Structure 1
Amino acid sequence: MSTLYNTKVTAIGGRSGTVRSEDGLLDLSLALPSALGGKGGATNPEQLFAAGYAACFENAVIHVTRNKDAKVKDDDIVVVADVGMSANGSGGFALSVALDVAISGIDQAAAEDIVQAAHAVCPYSNAVKGNVDVVITVTAN
């Protein structure tokens, strides 16, 4: 399989450190969330994952409608990703994801079909399939 895109991000200092992409466009401080006993005040890996998943999933919705009569444009869709972390029962941690997908300009049945197709092609969905619980709610407005 040929790689379509590649990027590198370096993390230093773990959850209380920094992340920086090789091109410098991403350059952020990290902090353990106060909900986990940290000081907060900076982003965290779960927020970054939620942002990436939401943006990628939105684009997957647009992608699967490119050759259909009911095309979805950038302004027609909003995706909210809610990423949770919990103990997995064996000393580690697990993530869960809830995607709230709102699409305007189409009916509910079409929106559900489009989102199901997007879930099948989204790289984030494919990366977590079988490992992370993902619940998707679809609303057409």
Structure 2
Amino acid sequence: MSKITKVLATGKTRTTGTDAAVFSGNHEGQLDIHLTSPNIAGAREHRFDAIEAHPTAEQLFAGAWSACYSAAVGISAKQLKVTLPADTAVEIEVDLGLGGNEYFIQARINLIVPGIDPELAIKIAHAADALCPYSKATKGNIDVALNVVTA
């Protein structure tokens, strides 16, 4: 795995709740989203000054991963017979950056479970990481930091 030495853009999400989310697109069941490339001043020859503000690929990836990981947290907690607090949240940040002359992504997953025993929270976080298909897809491919906040 290559390391990012310069972060160019970050897509951040926060997902609350641990049950599967329902997302609906248009009446035909399709999703119509206009994407934006991150506006990276000075990154090689690319500048995107004339692009309207829409979600970036990093934000969409973080959002999809966050929803999936949140559902995995809910499943993992139920398997461990743990009732999660109502203010449980998942924050995922996906960075786009440079490592030498190459573009890469890296991520941070923050599981926020106020009032839960820290060791139990870490167990839930790792169980969810093992269950979540997005976490499985990224494992060994990009740098990912998994953090737990219980305070």
Tell me the TM-score normalised to structure 1 length: 0.73
1:100-140 deviation line (CA, Å, top 9, x unaligned) = 11013421111011101111111000011110111011011
Partner of 2:72: 60
One-letter amino acid of the structure 1 residue matched with residue 34 of structure 2: S
Specify the alignment match of 1:5 in structure 2. none
Number of equivalences = 118
Higher relative contact order (CA 8 A, sep 6+): 2
Question: What is the root-mean-square deviation of aligned Cα atoms in Å?
Answer: 2.1
Change (3 A) 1:40 1:136: farther
Alpha-carbon separation, structure 2, partners of 1:48 and 1:100:
17
Deviation digits for residues 24-43 of structure 1, max 9, x if unmatched? 2x211112222353135111
Runs (4+) of structure 1 exceeding 4 A deviation are none
Conserved 8 A contact 1:85-1:94: yes
Question: What is residue 127 of structure 1 aligned with on the other side?
Answer: 137
**Structure 2 counterpart of 1:79:** 90
Structure 2 alignment gaps of length 5 or more: 1-25, 42-46
Partner of 1:44: 56
TM-score computed with the length of structure 2 as normaliser: 0.69
Shift of 1:71: 2.8
Unmatched 5+ residue regions in structure 1?
Answer: 1-19
Aligned twin of 2:149? 139
Deviation at 1:88, TM superposition (A): 4.3
Q: In the superposition, relative to structure 1, how do residues 137 and 40 fare at CA in structure 2: closer, same or farther (>3 Å)?
A: farther
**What percent identity do the matched residue pairs reach?**
31
